[in-house]
Amino acid sequence: MWSRFRQSAHAICFYEPFHEALARCTAKKIRRDTHSSWNSRHPPLDQPYRQEYLPFIRLRGMPGYRDEFAVARYFPSADGIEPELKYLRRLLAQASRAGKSAVLGFSRSLARSAAIKRALGGYHIVVQRNPLQQWLSCRSYRVNEASNYFELCHFLILALASPDSPAGRFAHHLGLPRLPHNGFRKQYKALQAEIYPWSDELSYRVFLAVHVLSHEMAQSAADLAIDMDRLNMDPAYRNKVRNTIFGRTGFTLSLDECHAGKHDVSQVPFDVVAVERDTLRVLRQCQSYGSNGAEPEDQGGFAGLVARQPTT
């Protein structure tokens, strides 16, 4: 979706404004990070992902960006998100000076989107996808390429959440370790060393918890929710989405090339329905704790999450 907006001459489209790469990026790194420099499974792009950040870069790092924006502050605390807002205002001002609209293509804004909209306004689109398929996509990088990044980021989001938040309580329920606030790279390495190898079932519980909690928080800010699986298969739905976006923003998007890959669910080595049901049950306990005093039951750490064979 971000790449479709980027095709417009009337927009400046910033790719993943909260991505940790922005903390240490250089002009050289930005220019070499393209859709073909890794197995991105992304459509061809005419420019590197972060081309739009180049006017800001001096020696190293995006001005105003903080390392903790990536995952440590994914779920906002009681202190709010003023540092993020100050940083995002720089991007909006850059587009305004060019006489264009800013389009922010996030993958880490869902839990902060309501606060962002209250402060900055704008038209907010939430992109939805079947969570099992999305998790299988993350898992496939570990299985096929020995890359744990996409899975481990979800573990980090929960492990770094405030202990008093639903996400933090769910992390405690799973037995995830608390991490020091010493930067994304060190936190990533520390958590991987602590929990690897993890079971597929644990990974899916973590992914699903982040997915459910953040999408629930984003719904209040959504002007439009797009079902990517339906967009992939339904031409009439694509036309409806295209017309809705045009009517609200004036942007005409080309959506006919939409393609969402499918992963074989028969490869899942646990009872998906049972795990989803149990994860949602515990999440509700975590959300209600504090109002009714019922503390979520202890899962017993990683050993309690042994992978099971699917029943049917």
pLDDT in tens, 183-220: 999 999 999 999 999 999 999 999 999 999 999 999 98
pLDDT, tens digit (0-9, with 9 covering 90-100), for 227-244: 999 999 999 999 999 999
Q: What is the dihedral of CA 109, 115, 119, 120, to 10 degrees?
A: 20
Residue-level pLDDT at 297: 54
Angle between helices 200-218 and 113-120 (to 10 degrees): 20
Task: Pick the closest to residue 207 from 146, 262, 141, 114 (CA basis).
Answer: 141
Q: Is residue 33 within 8 Å of 48, Cβ to Cβ?
A: yes
Residue bearing tokens 């149990």: 278
Nearest to 159 by CA among 127, 132, 191: 191
| Beta carbons within 8 Å of 279's beta carbon, 6+ residues apart | 205, 208, 209, 212
Name 36's Cβ contacts closer than 8 Å, sequence gap at least 6: 44
In contact, 1 and 125? CB cutoff 8 Å: yes
Q: Across the chain, what does the average pLDDT equal?
A: 92
Element (DSSP H or E) covering residue 84:
helix 82-97
pLDDT of residue 267: 83
pLDDT tier for residue 296 given thresholds of 50, 70 and 90: low
**What interhelical angle do 184-195 and 149-159 show, nearest 10?**
100
The span from the CA of 241 to the CA of 224, in Å, is 9
CA–CA dist 271, 266 (Å, integer): 10
* Residue 290 scores a pLDDT above 90: no
How many whole angstroms separate alpha carbon 19 and alpha carbon 13? 14
pLDDT band at 10 (very low <50, low <70, confident <90, very high): very high
pLDDT, residue 289, reads 78
What integer is the mean pLDDT of 18-27?
97
Task: Name residue, tokens 């769910």.
Answer: 170
Is-above-0.75 flag for pTM? Answer: yes
Quick one: pLDDT band at residue 43, thresholds 50, 70, 90? confident
Three-class SS of 104-142: EECCCCHHHHHHHHHHHCCCCEEEECCHHHHHHHHHHHH
Q: What is the pLDDT of residues 235-269, one digit of tens each?
A: 999 999 999 999 999 999 999 989 888 999 998 99
Contacts of 64 (CB under 8 A, 6+ apart): 86, 87, 90
Strand positions, DSSP E, 131-262: 224-227
Contacts 24+ apart (CB under 8 A), 139-144: 139/200, 139/203, 140/263, 141/39
Beta pairing, strands 224-227 & 101-105: unpaired
Alpha-carbon gap, residue 284 to 288, rounded angstroms: 6
CA distance 250 to 244: 9
> DSSP states of 58-85 as a string?
SSSS-TT--GGGTTTTSS--TT-SHHHH
Check if the beta carbon of residue 148 is closer than 8 Å to that of residue 192.
Answer: yes
- 165 touches 72 (CB < 8 A): no
Instruction: Tell me what pLDDT residue 300 has.
Output: 38
> Do the beta carbons of residue 13 and residue 105 sit within 8 Å?
yes
pLDDT digits (tens, 9 = 90+) for 54-98: 999 999 999 999 999 999 999 998 899 999 999 999 999 999 999
